[in-house]
């Protein structure tokens, strides 16, 4: 698998700012992409994670360091580039390098599956294309009342979802509980409901929040407090609700710390940040050894979403993967049933690789844009 060309691309899409979570408003979405071409003509596509305020760090590392280091190199396995790049001198910021490596690794696995004419889930040892998923929605929207929120979740029910997640802790408690009540009424008493506090709860506020939430029987809470407050997370996991964390973490030893402290009941990692497919496999093994189910996180384009679905379809320890119903950018690129929902499951695709068409540079049909940052040969 000799690499002959690396293209660093940027996805960008302007958003109107009327949708928000407790941390910020969504006025744009940017994401670093990479396509890797091999001597046999196979091309793989990958995506890296980025902070809301910083996509440039990942793009710069891909264009200036990672991409040039790959040109002309031959790797014998899909994880070859991941292992090679992890052994390279550390570059800063460290999270951005991890995201850059993740993008490359996803592209390597996409290409390997295409070369074998297999869907990625099958290359990973999966038995079929079905991935357990939850509908990720329920963000705050300007002017949205309870009826509109119920209608939003009814659409997810009608689409075939049976598990759901919504944001909380962005407005006063009493008002937020009206939102939770509306969602529960919409999805029914037996549906799985997870809530995401986006790190907003505190040691002072959490008991009251959980007392009120108990009326609506959520099964777990994502990111209840700051990711580094392991002691409070441990308490919440023990006394109130199972904790899901830590989506924005990339250091594997920090995941191990959460597991050792029994601070989480679900390990949440993001393939475009934690090392791609190869990094996720290592974390999945860690979680499985500890008896902790995993839940891959995703909030970006169809490329990251497809990789997440393939991983979830292949790994028995995955409880449910995020299927984002707001950040569904480039969904028109899906091929061979990728992304189709039914009975609480998403199809990871039945064609070779990720099941995502290689994007063309320029304006996209969903109003987004893909731009070339650097082409390396």
Residues 49 and 197 in one domain: no
Count of domains observed in the chain: 2
Q: CATH no. for residue 252?
A: 3.20.20.120
137 near 156, Cβ under 8 Å? yes
Reading the chain (377 residues) residue by residue, the pLDDT tens digits are: 899 999 999 999 999 999 999 999 999 999 999 999 999 999 999 999 999 999 999 999 999 999 999 999 999 999 999 999 999 888 999 999 999 999 999 999 999 999 999 999 999 999 999 999 999 999 999 999 999 999 999 999 999 999 999 999 999 999 999 999 999 999 999 999 999 999 999 999 999 999 999 999 999 999 999 989 999 999 999 999 999 999 999 999 999 999 999 999 999 999 999 999 999 999 999 999 999 999 999 999 999 999 999 999 999 999 999 999 999 999 999 999 999 999 999 999 999 999 999 999 999 999 999 999 999 99
Element (H, E) at 253: helix 252-260
Residues 177 and 321 in one domain: yes
Residues 56 and 21 in one domain: yes
Asked whether residue 161 is domain-assigned, the answer is yes
Residues 127 and 176 in one domain: yes
Residues 199 and 327 in one domain: yes
Residues 282 and 164 in one domain: yes
Q: What CA–CA distance (Å, rounded) separates 100 from 86? A: 11
Asked whether residue 352 is domain-assigned, the answer is no
Q: What CA–CA distance (Å, rounded) separates 100 from 87? A: 14
Residues 269 and 132 in one domain: yes
Q: What CA–CA distance (Å, rounded) separates 46 from 9? A: 10
298 near 271, Cβ under 8 Å? yes
Domain that holds residue 299: 121-347
Residues 261 and 243 in one domain: yes
Residues 186 and 268 in one domain: yes
Residues 199 and 324 in one domain: yes
Which residues, at least 6 apart from 375, have a Cβ–Cβ distance to it below 8 Å?
A: 5, 6, 7, 8
What secondary structure does DSSP assign to 315-339, as a single string?
-TTB--EEEESS--BTGGGB-TTTT
180 near 204, Cβ under 8 Å? no
Asked whether residue 142 is domain-assigned, the answer is yes
Residues 181 and 274 in one domain: yes
Asked whether residue 24 is domain-assigned, the answer is yes
Element (H, E) at 167: strand 163-167
pTM higher than 0.75 for the full model? yes
């Amino acid at each position: 698998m000799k690499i002959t060309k690396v293209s660093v691309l940027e996805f960008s899409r302007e958003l109107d700012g009327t949708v928000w979570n407790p941390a910020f408003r969504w006025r744009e979405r940017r994401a670093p992409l990479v396509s890797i071409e091999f001597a046999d003509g196979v091309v793989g596509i990958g995506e890296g994670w980025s902070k809301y305020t910083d996509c440039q760090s990942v793009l710069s590392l891909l264009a200036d360091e990672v991409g040039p280091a790959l040109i002309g190199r031959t790797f014998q396995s899909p994880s070859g580039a991941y292992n090679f790049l992890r052994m390279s001198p550390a570059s800063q910021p460290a999270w951005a390098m991890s995201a850059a490596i993740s993008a490359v690794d996803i592209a390597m696995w996409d290409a390997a599956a295409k070369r074998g004419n297999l869907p990625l889930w099958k290359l990973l040892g999966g038995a079929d294309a079905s991935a357990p998923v939850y509908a990720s929605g329920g963000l705050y929207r300007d002017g949205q009342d309870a009826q509109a929120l119920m209608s939003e979740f009814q659409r997810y029910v009608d689409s075939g979802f049976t598990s759901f997640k919504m944001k909380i802790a962005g407005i006063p408690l009493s008002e937020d509980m009206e939102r939770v009540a509306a969602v529960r009424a919409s999805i029914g008493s037996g549906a799985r409901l997870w809530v995401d506090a986006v790190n907003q709860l505190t040691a002072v506020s959490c008991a009251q929040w959980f007392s009120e939430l108990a009326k609506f029987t959520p099964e777990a809470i994502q990111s209840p407090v700051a990711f580094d407050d392991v002691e409070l997370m441990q308490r919440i996991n023990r006394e109130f609700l199972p904790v899901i964390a830590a989506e924005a973490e990339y250091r594997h030893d920090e995941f191990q710390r959460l597991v050792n402290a029994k601070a989480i009941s679900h390990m949440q990692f993001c393939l475009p940040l934690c090392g791609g497919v190869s990094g996720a496999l290592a974390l999945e093994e860690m979680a499985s050894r500890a008896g902790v189910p995993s839940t891959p996180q995703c909030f970006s384009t169809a490329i990251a979403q497809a990789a997440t679905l393939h991983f979830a379809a292949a790994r028995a320890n995955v409880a449910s993967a995020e299927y984002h119903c707001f950040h569904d950018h480039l969904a028109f690129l899906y091929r061979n049933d990728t992304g189709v929902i039914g009975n609480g499951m998403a199809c990871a695709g039945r064609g070779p690789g990720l099941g995502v068409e290689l994007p063309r540079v320029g304006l996209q049909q969903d109003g987004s844009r893909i731009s070339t940052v650097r082409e390396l040969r």
